[in-house]
Structure 1
Amino acid sequence: MNVLLVLAAILFLLMVLIGGRKGARSFIALILNFGVLFFTILFMTDPNADPIILTLIASALISCITLFFINEVNLKTKAAFLSTIITIVILLLFILIVADKSMIQGFGKEEIEEISMFSMYLGVDFVKVGASMIIMSTIGAITDVAIAVASPMREIFFHNPTISRKALFNSGLSIGRDILGTNTNTLFFAFFGGYIGLFLWLKELSYSVGEIVNSKVFSVEIITILCAGIGIALIIPITSWITAFFLVGTRGKNESI
C-alpha cells in the first residue's frame, strides 16, 4: 500500500510540474475514470443489468471526463467526443459478433483451477461481458487518437482559415496516419509486457506454439489488440471528417473554436 501511495504521489508531482493545472486535472481525471470503471463492474454483477448499455454509458462518461474535464468544452473536444461515441457504437456491434463466433467468453482452463471453488452460476451473459471488456480496454486509446487528430486540425484551421473542407480532411488523415502505427504498437507491446509471466508459465507447462495461440487467455488478448487497432483505424477518418465539418462550418460565424 505504501508503494502505491508513493508512486501515485510521484506521478501527481510530475504531472503538476510538467503539465501545470492541466496536469493536475489529468490526475484527477484518472481517479474519476477509475471510479467509473469500478462502478460499471459493480453494476455488471446484477443479472438484470445489460453489460452493453452499461458499457456505452461508461464509455460516454470516460470520454466526457477525458475530453471535457481536461481540455474544457470547445469545438475540438466536441468533435473528438462525437467521433469517439460513433466509433464505439460501430466497434461494439462488431465486437459482439466476434466475441460470439470466437467463443472467447468466460475463463480459460489455465484460470479455472484458481476459481473452481466458487460458483459459476452468476446469471451474467459472458458474451456481452467479453465485448464490454474489449471496449473498456480500448476506450483510452480511441479517445486519445480522437483528440490527437482534432487538436492539430484546429490549429491548421486557425492559421489557415480559408482552407477547404476537403483539404482540412486530408490534413486530418495525414496526421492520423502518423499516429496509427505508434498507437497500435503501444497496444501490442503493452499486452506482451503484461503477459511475460504467463508465457513463461505456458513454456514451463510445455505448451507448443499452436497450443499457446489457441489457448483462450492468449486469444482474448490478441482479439482485444486487433479490435483496438480496428477502432484506432476507424476513428481517424471519422474524427477527420467530423472536425473538418465543424471547423469549416464556423467560418464567418465568429464562433469560438
Structure 2
Amino acid sequence: MNVLVWLTAILFILMIVIGGKKGARSFLSLFINFGVLFITIFLMTNPKNSPILLTLIACTVISWISLFYINQISSKTVTAFISTMITIIILLLFIVWITDKSMLRGFGEESTEEISIFSLYIGINFVQISASVIIMSTIGAILDVAISIATSMHEILHHNPSISKKKLFTSGMSIGRDILGTDTNTLFFAFFGGYLSLLIWFKDLSYSIDEIINSKVFSTELMMIFCAGIGIALIIPITASVNAYYLIRKREKTENLS
C-alpha cells in the first residue's frame, strides 16, 4: 500500500510541476474516469441494462471530462468531442456486428478456473460486453488523436487565414497519417503487454502455432487490436472533415459580419 501511495504522490507532483493547473485537472480526471468506469461495470452486471447503451453513455462522459474539464470549452475541444462521438457510434455498431459474426462468445478452456466461481445463469450478453471492452480500451487513443488534429488545424488556420477548405482538410489528413502509425503500434503493444503472461503460459503448455491462433482468447485479443486500429484510422478523416467544415464556416461568418 505504501508503494501505491508513493507512486500516486510522484505522479501527482510530476503532473503539477510539468502541467501546472492543467496537470492537476488531468490527475483528478483519472480518478473521475475510474469512477465512471466502475459505475458502468456495476450497472452492466444487471441483465436488464444494455451494455452497448451504457458504453455509449460512459464514453460520452469520459470524453466530456477528458476534453472539456481538462482543456476547458473551446472550439478545439468542441470539434474534437463531436468527432469522437461520431467515431464511437460508428465503431460501436461495427464492433457489435463483427463480434456477433465472428462467433467469439462465451469462454475458452483457458478460463475454466476463473469461471468456476461464477453463476452460469447470470444472463449477461457477452457479445455486447466484448464490444464494450474494445470501445473502452480505445477511447483514450481516439480522444488523443482527435484533440491533436483539432489543435493542429486550428493553428494552421491561425497562421494561414486564407487557406482553402480542401487544403485545410488535406493538412489535417497529413497530420493524422503521422499519428496513425505510432498510435496503432501503441495499442498493439498495450494489448499484448497485458497478455504477455498468457503467451508464456501457451509456451509452457507446448501449444502449437495453430492452437494459439485458433484459441478463443488469442483470437479475441487480435480482434480487439484490429478494431482499435480501425477506430484510430476512422477518427482521422472524421476529425479533419469536421474541423475543416467548422473552421471555414466560422471564418466566412466573421468575414460577412465585417
Q: TM-score, normalised by structure 2?
A: 0.95
Number of the residue aligned with 1:12 = 12
Structure 1 segment 112-151 matched on structure 2, within 5 A: 112-151=112-151
Mapping of residues 180-199 of structure 1, within 5 Å: 180-199=180-199
Match of 2:236 in 1: 236
SS in 1 for 2:107: coil
Correspondences of 1:44-59 after superposition (within 5 Å): 44-59=44-59
Give the aligned length. Answer: 255
Name the amino acid aligned to 2:55: T
Quick one: distance in 2 between partners of 1:52 and 1:149?
A: 27
| Number of the residue aligned with 2:167 | 167
Give distance in 2, aligned partners of 1:133 and 1:192: 15
> 5 Å matches for 1:40-79?
40-79=40-79
Give, in angstroms, the shift of residue 112 of structure 1. 2.0
1:253 Cα deviation from its structure 2 partner: 4.2
Identity %: 64
Aligned residues: CA RMSD = 1.3
> What is the match of residue 22 of structure 2?
22
Cα displacement (A) at 1:31? 1.0
Q: For residue 141 of structure 1, what is the amino acid of its counterpart?
A: A
Matched, 1:214 2:214: yes
Gaps of 5+ in 1: none
1:201 alignment partner AA:
W
| 1:245 is aligned to 2:245 | yes
Unaligned runs of 5+ in 2: none
Measure, in 1, the Cα distance between the counterparts of 2:214 and 2:22. 44
Taking the aligned partners of 1:135 and 1:144, their CA distance within structure 2 comes to: 14
Q: What residue is the counterpart of 1:3 in the other structure?
A: 3
Tell me, yes or no, if structure 1 residue 81 matches structure 2 residue 67: no
Shift of 1:190: 1.2
Aligned partner letter, 1:84: T
Matched, 1:156 2:165: no
Please state how far the C-alpha of 1:161 moved relative to its aligned partner.
Answer: 1.2
Which amino acid letter does the alignment assign opposite residue 143 of structure 2? T
The Cα shift of 1:113 comes to: 1.8
Paired with 2:54 and 2:252, the residues of 1 have a C-alpha distance of 41
| 1:28-39 pair list within 5 angstroms | 28-39=28-39
Distance in 1 (CA, whole Å) between partners of 2:197 and 2:129 is 25
Structural mapping, 1:71-110, within 5 Å: 71-110=71-110
Could you tell me how far 1:254 is from its partner in structure 2? 5.0
Q: Quick one: distance in 2 between partners of 1:2 and 1:104?
A: 41
C-alpha deviation, 1:73, in angstroms: 0.6
Once the 2 structures are TM-superposed, how far is the Cα of residue 91 of structure 1 from its aligned partner? Answer: 0.6
Q: Does the 8 A contact of 1:106 with 1:130 survive in 2?
A: no
Distance (whole Å) between structure 1 residues aligned to residue 62 and residue 210 of structure 2: 38
